[in-house]
Amino acid sequence: MEKGELKILNKGEEEEMELQGYRLCRWRLALVGFGVLCTGGFLLLLLYWMPEWCVKSTCTRTTARDAEVVLLRSTDEFRRWFLARVRVMLAPGSNPFHSLETQTTSPSSSPSSPSSPFSSPSPSPLANGHTPLPSDGSPAQELIRKFSDYQPTQIRYFTFHSTKYYWNDEMQNFKVLTGLEDLEVSCSTIHSEHSAGLTRNQQEYRRLFFGVNEIAVKVPSVFKLLIKEVLNPFYIFQLFSVILWSADEYYYYAVAIVFMSVISIATSLYTIKKQYIMLHDMVAAHSIVRVSVCRANNDVEETLSTDLVPGDVVVIPSNGTIMPCDAVLISGTCIVNESMLTGESVPVTKTNLPNPLPGEQEGADSAYNTEEHKRHTLFCGTNVIQTRFYTGELVKAVVVRTGFSTAKGQLVRSILYPKPTDFKLYRDAYLFLLCLVAVAGIGFIYSIVLSVMNEVPAKTIIIESLDIITITVPPALPAAMTAGIVYAQRRLKQIGIFCISPQRINICGQINLVCFDKTGTLTEDGLDMWGVQRVEGGRFHLSEESAHKENLVKSQFVACMATCHSLTKIEGQLSGDPLDLKMFEATGWILEEATEEETALHNRIMPTVVRPPKQLLPSQPDVSAEQDMELAELSSLYEIGIVRQFPFSSALQRMSVVSRTLGEKCMDAYMKGAPEVVASLCKKESVPENFAEVLEGYTKQGFRVIALAHRRLGSKLNWHKVQNVNRDYIEANLEFLGLIIMQNKLKAETPGVLQDLHRANIRTIMVTGDNMLTAISVARDCGMILPEDTVIIADALPPHDGQAAKITWRYADKPSRTTRFEEINISLENEGHVEELKTQQLYHFAMNGKSFAIIAEHFPDMLQKLVLHGTVFARMAPDQKTQLIETLQGVDYFVGMCGDGANDCGALKRAHSGISLSELEASVASPFTSRTPNISCVPSLIREGRAALITSFCVFKFMALYSIIQYISVTLLYSVLSNLGDFQFLFIDIAIILLIVFTMSLNPAWKELVSRRPPSGLISGPLLFSVLTQIIICLSFQTITFLWVQKQPWYEVWTPATDVCNHSDHLNVSELNSTEVDEHNIQNFENTSLFYVSSFQYLIVAIVFSKGKPFRQPSYKNWPFVLSAVSLYFFLLFIMFHPVEGIDKFLEIVCVPFEWRLKLFLIIVVNAAVSVLVETFILDIVLWKLAFSRDKQANYGVTPAAPTPQGVIDLQAYKCLFRLCPRKTTPKARYMHLAQELSVDPDWPPKPTTTTEAKPRPENGSAYEIIIHS
């Protein structure tokens, strides 16, 4: 193995990293130590900020296996560096799932396990078969003593982001050990090998690797947080500035900056500490609870949850608990509230893991996976409300994952170690700061040259030249940049939107596409029963309003409606999925669950029983006197017991139950689900021929359609066999019973909000798990698709029987019929410059989850073209929603996602801005959570995002100008060996800058969304033009002032004896300060003139930059800002025209003639007029319009909404621009570039009578072939 070999950790996962091994080198350490001493500790700081430099300067490269230190680098776009120390622990074995007894008795003879992630001299068989997950080096000595015959093994590991990585000899790499899943154990293996529990020795041994079962969010001490905060490069720069100012005797300003820094650090520490405490309290609720654990000898013992390890079997108490780990149910059922993880408050029923019998088909016994088997998995942090259990056989679950490996642990890790927010604004801000540093460099050299020429002492040269750098990089910049976001967060909270990731507020200002879930988001959560349409003998009956009729009470159709659900009673109230509730309520039946006392009397689980009310049952004939009364009562009873549930699965799109009618020998299977899926599992003869037409008729009208089916099971299938039977066995050869038609009403706010978004050129997309035609109908109803727009459905088929994958294109309203074929090739090459854009074609693509998966796999570059106009994505699984978000981001959209938090967790977290409509304030599934249960929060969030983004630009531009204006003043004064005074600096930085910067951020968002977006970065034409023109204006007027004052007839080099104002008593005051004046030369005419002009310039640029419409409310509505600006203007004009001796003395201002004050006032007025003229008229009217017309999505045929009159005008303007500027332009965003290509492609969009086939080309992706049907 090469020394320089690079290892990849977590390959293909979100946390993929490159790893390099290093060994500490003593002579390098000594050299670095010497360097640290020589640089006064600065080198140590540099190595702290740059982990890669730290490792490379103190270590030498080695193999990963022998590494003492590992250097990690993320493979994402941020390419961040981390270092971790490799540790060694001693354990009596090398694999946590080996049996210690086996190892000690026969260490050499035991066969090697292929699944073992660790190699040891003598590997032994798995005791309870899984893959290890390590622990902290908890004392292993006692265990080693117990098994003294076995040679202790050295195990190498390192900890990174609360996860342990162990060296794996087989893989020759470090590996994370998560728990039971790593072994890919099958469901039947969990039942056969893991349901007995562990011995105490096995548990202790595993704990060496897995550690304490705890999501330990350690709240750092204030001292630790303080050190971390103070070592921020910015505060180090401030410390450097303070030392420098103190050396130059600018004590007051230094103290003011220290005071500001202390407040800033204290606020930051308070916020960080509060967040840590909140997170700690959130996870502490379940971290230590008492649990009952089954031991291998059938004993049940009480222990603390912190002792649990994967493989332990825990007993779930009947009164419920908060889960301390991830565990899979192996017996019984539980009702769980998972709102902590998903934001969904509807309780979920969890059933025991299926245990396929050996004789059943192989596909049934799949490897256990928490995602696939989540309906059988109890997740850490979720609340088990109640359990249904067996007598003698308690509700048991096998621990699958513990600590940070659990679902909640991963969630907490993502909060503790968030990815940096990649946003152009922040990248540009650093670039801008570098530009300021470059400007400072020029001033630095200029001041040195000037001072040397004037023979200034060396100490003064050093201090004054370094002072230029501290002036150019403003110390209040980070606090000022954060202010706008903090205010926006506060405003969002007032309208019921909570944010756990404040940095994302700015990104919300860039959103140009929003994906919406349908049910519960665009439409009402609840469904109303519209009617039913039963099937008998393979034919549809006429539709009926309800099934609540006497003649139907004993029909299979009503029995299916009454039994096929996951409802349960919690405190006497029916609870469960809203659809199930509506369906059950429509039958009018009664649901009864067994009490604990009743359950204890039976040898098996008491089923949930459903029965019709007595008044619905047909009346019984008169009972003869000799007949047994009890028997008659029994015969009149009609109730059905639900024996086994197969819960609803998003992937399978169906649920089923096995039930038994009282008095019947055979059991029945009932199924409900998506009509297409249910029909495919039924006998063909039982499905009506016109099934597709009837279904299409309902879905086109926007109804939610559920199909029902039934099957009579054989008498051999007894209760015990049913508990272990495979789902696929039950869900086959069913009889089709008919359709339930539910109405899903649009929320009142939906059409209006979507109209607002369309007007603002923000695309809207529907991503739902519902039927395609229903989704298209809802999209039309809510205005997402306009009535005159065409919808093209993409039906993709996977390759089969040697045929390539293909896509059939058809209209949603007119399904195509196929006949003759002819072939055409689609060219995918760029056609070059687009002289004129095609008139926007109003078409939309729609597809289901299956087609989406096939297109993503076989037509990857076609997918990017489809998402440009894809509006409806139906039958989408949760992971496909996430994949769609990634595809949209891949073509440079800024994507928002709005969902109810249930199936949308992945998509909500992946989008630039995920908004969960949940009543739970602490829904950690998405960055934003809205208490308002409708989509009206989306425009509000985008408006606030835009306002926060524009505020960030305003503040940054203002801070840049502030530092440049001060830099110009100081540079000009340096030429006469003068400077600004200590209190002048103090007045400018505290009274003007801080007051203005914190009030100019208070402008609320504009009341409506406009059709243009703010720029995403500082490095854009209009913004640079704005900053540069204002710099030139300020430079010009300061230079004019500086030169003009020296040309005045009364001008002379100022001394304490100077009296140009004819104030004879002024001499005495000046003489008192003669020593100070002599030393720093602060008091002179140039200083006073520049102080007045520059002070007004700060206020002028603040007003000019504080933009209002179209993204923020006008500045005159921001009364704190107006009050601050007016007060400062009044104060400055007052001291300029009416000198006050005390103020003049404090600010070290000298008296100047009245006519010069009038001239200064004239300079200030002209300066203000020029600044306003350039910013408002030239920039806003000419440059912004030009830049924004280029940025419009509508110009690229991307927005599905009909073009507004303004859009048409902009399109014409854009064409004119092309004629005026015939140079080749390529749009920056990839979606614009693609739209430009497609606008000149005659074969796009594909005609509805065509089929596109995949024709793979080995050398370069795939080509397509269109086959046209006449």
pLDDT digits (tens, 9 = 90+) for 507-522: 888 898 999 987 778 8
In which residue are the tokens 């003395």 written?
A: 1145
**pLDDT for res 1014:** 80
Residue among 726, 663, 53 at smallest CA distance from 359: 726
Q: Give the separation between CA 1214 and CA 1202, rounded to whole angstroms.
A: 18
Q: What angle do CA 411, 216, 273 make, to 5 degrees?
A: 85
Residue among 747, 765, 754 at smallest CA distance from 938: 754
At position 772, the amino acid (one-letter code) is M
Ranges 331-335, 1125-1129, 1188-1192, most confident: 1125-1129
**pLDDT for res 441:** 82
In which residue are the tokens 């026969």 written?
A: 106
Mean pLDDT, rounded, for 78-96: 83
**pLDDT for res 151:** 67
Q: Are 961 and 1027 in contact (CB under 8 A)?
A: yes
Task: Compute φ and ψ for 812, nearest 5 degrees.
Answer: -65, -35
Q: Give the separation between CA 470 and CA 476, rounded to whole angstroms.
A: 12
Mean pLDDT, rounded, for 462-467: 76
Q: Give the separation between CA 623 and CA 737, rounded to whole angstroms.
A: 35
Q: What does the mean pLDDT of the chain come to?
A: 76
Which tokens is 1237 given? 């290509």
**pLDDT for res 1077:** 42
Q: Give the separation between CA 1256 and CA 1254, rounded to whole angstroms.
A: 6
At position 739, the amino acid (one-letter code) is L
Q: What angle do CA 670, 672, 676 make, to 5 degrees?
A: 125
Q: Give the separation between CA 858 and CA 524, rounded to whole angstroms.
A: 36
How many CA within 13 A on the CB side of residue 605?
25
**pLDDT for res 873:** 92
Task: Compute φ and ψ for 623, nearest 5 degrees.
Answer: -90, 130
Q: Give the separation between CA 480 and CA 999, rounded to whole angstroms.
A: 10
Which tokens is 993 given? 């800058």
423 — pLDDT class (breaks 50, 70, 90): low
Name the least confident of 248-257, 843-852, 1090-1099. 248-257
Phi-psi region at 478: left, alpha or beta (left = phi > 0; alpha = psi -120 to 50): alpha
Mean pLDDT, rounded, for 455-467: 75
1160 — pLDDT class (breaks 50, 70, 90): very high
Residue among 278, 280, 276 at smallest CA distance from 288: 280
By DSSP bridging, strand 513-516 and strand 895-899 are parallel
Is 90 exceeded by the pLDDT of residue 232? no
Is 90 exceeded by the pLDDT of residue 1115? no
Task: Compute φ and ψ for 543, nearest 5 degrees.
Answer: -70, 145
Q: Are 1267 and 1246 in contact (CB under 8 A)?
A: no
CA distances from 308 to 205, 303, 1107 (A): 12, 8, 59
**pLDDT for res 837:** 35
Express each pLDDT in 269-312 by its tens digit. Answer: 887 787 778 777 777 765 678 888 888 777 888 888 888 888 88
Which tokens is 1247 given? 């005609």
Mean pLDDT, rounded, for 428-435: 76
**pLDDT for res 636:** 55
- Residue 990 has what DSSP assignment? I
Name the least confident of 70-84, 159-173, 570-584, 1043-1057. 570-584
**pLDDT for res 785:** 87
**pLDDT for res 1128:** 93
CB atoms within 10 A of CB 455: 7
Question: Is cis: bond before 675, omega within 30 of 0?
Answer: no
Name the least confident of 195-199, 211-215, 1180-1184, 1260-1264. 1260-1264
133 — pLDDT class (breaks 50, 70, 90): very low
Q: Give the separation between CA 1149 and CA 1171, rounded to whole angstroms.
A: 26
Q: Are 122 and 108 in contact (CB under 8 A)?
A: yes
Is 70 exceeded by the pLDDT of residue 139? no
Q: Are 408 and 381 in contact (CB under 8 A)?
A: yes
Residue among 677, 710, 738 at smallest CA distance from 564: 710
Express each pLDDT in 592-609 by its tens digit. Answer: 876 655 554 444 556 788
At position 285, the amino acid (one-letter code) is A
**pLDDT for res 790:** 85
Q: Are 107 and 122 in contact (CB under 8 A)?
A: yes
Express each pLDDT in 759-808 by its tens digit. Answer: 888 999 999 877 777 788 888 888 888 878 888 888 888 887 778 888 88
CA 112 to chain centre: 43
**Beta strands, E only, 620-762:** 640-649, 654-661, 668-673, 703-712, 735-743
**pLDDT for res 903:** 58
**pLDDT for res 376:** 87
1192 — pLDDT class (breaks 50, 70, 90): very low
Is 50 exceeded by the pLDDT of residue 579? yes
Mean pLDDT, rounded, for 736-744: 85
**pLDDT for res 671:** 92
Residue among 1115, 1079, 1086 at smallest CA distance from 1099: 1115
Which tokens is 1039 given? 């230079």
Residue among 659, 635, 629 at smallest CA distance from 645: 659
78 — pLDDT class (breaks 50, 70, 90): confident
Express each pLDDT in 806-856 by its tens digit. Answer: 888 887 763 333 322 233 333 333 333 333 333 344 888 999 888 898 888
Q: Give the separation between CA 6 and CA 71, rounded to whole angstroms.
A: 10
Long-range contacts of 218-227 (CB under 8 A, 24+ apart): 218/280, 219/273, 219/276, 219/277, 219/280, 220/273, 220/276, 222/269, 222/273, 225/269, 225/272, 225/273, 226/265, 226/269
Express each pLDDT in 879-931 by its tens digit. Answer: 788 889 888 988 888 899 888 755 566 678 778 888 888 655 445 557 788 88
**pLDDT for res 100:** 64
Q: Are 783 and 755 in contact (CB under 8 A)?
A: yes
**pLDDT for res 107:** 35
When computed from its CA atoms, the radius of gyration of the chain, rounded to whole angstroms, is 37
Mean pLDDT, rounded, for 224-243: 81
635 — pLDDT class (breaks 50, 70, 90): very low
Residue among 775, 802, 808, 951 at smallest CA distance from 876: 775
1079 — pLDDT class (breaks 50, 70, 90): low
Which tokens is 232 given? 């921020």
Is 90 exceeded by the pLDDT of residue 1098? yes
CB atoms within 10 A of CB 671: 25
1219 — pLDDT class (breaks 50, 70, 90): very low
Mean pLDDT, rounded, for 1079-1099: 86
Residue among 389, 477, 401 at smallest CA distance from 163: 401
% the chain with pLDDT above 70 = 78
**pLDDT for res 699:** 78
Question: Is cis: bond before 613, omega within 30 of 0?
Answer: no
Is 50 exceeded by the pLDDT of residue 755? yes
Residue among 500, 524, 569 at smallest CA distance from 748: 524
Residue among 803, 866, 858, 891 at smallest CA distance from 1262: 858
Q: Are 205 and 96 in contact (CB under 8 A)?
A: yes
Total length of the chain: 1270
**pLDDT for res 1184:** 55
Is 90 exceeded by the pLDDT of residue 985? no
Q: Give Cβ neighbours of residue 625 (< 8 Å, ≥ 6 apart).
A: none
Express each pLDDT in 666-685 by its tens digit. Answer: 888 999 988 888 998 888 88
Is 80 exceeded by the pLDDT of residue 221? yes
Q: Give Cβ neighbours of residue 424 (< 8 Å, ≥ 6 apart).
A: 1016, 1017
Q: Which has more confidence, 423 or 569?
A: 569
1080 — pLDDT class (breaks 50, 70, 90): low
**pLDDT for res 1239:** 81
- The sheet carrying 348-350 orders its strands as 321-322, 383-388, 333-337, 348-350
**Beta strands, E only, 45-162:** 59-62, 69-74, 81-85, 87-91, 153-160
Q: Give the separation between CA 55 and CA 35, rounded to whole angstroms.
A: 15
Q: Are 804 and 1255 in contact (CB under 8 A)?
A: yes
Residue among 932, 1103, 913, 1110 at smallest CA distance from 1005: 1110
**Residue numbers annotated as active site:** 517
At position 408, the amino acid (one-letter code) is K
Which tokens is 1267 given? 């086959």
1163 — pLDDT class (breaks 50, 70, 90): very high
Which tokens is 1155 given? 């006519």
Q: Which has more confidence, 1157 or 526?
A: 1157
Secondary element (H or E) of residue 700: helix 691-700
Name the least confident of 22-26, 828-832, 841-845, 992-996. 828-832
Mean pLDDT, rounded, for 101-111: 39
CA distances from 258 to 266, 433, 724 (A): 12, 22, 71
Is 70 exceeded by the pLDDT of residue 1040? yes
% the chain with pLDDT above 90 = 6
Q: Is the dihedral of CA 111, 116, 117, 120 positive or negative?
A: negative
Task: Compute φ and ψ for 626, nearest 5 degrees.
Answer: -80, -15
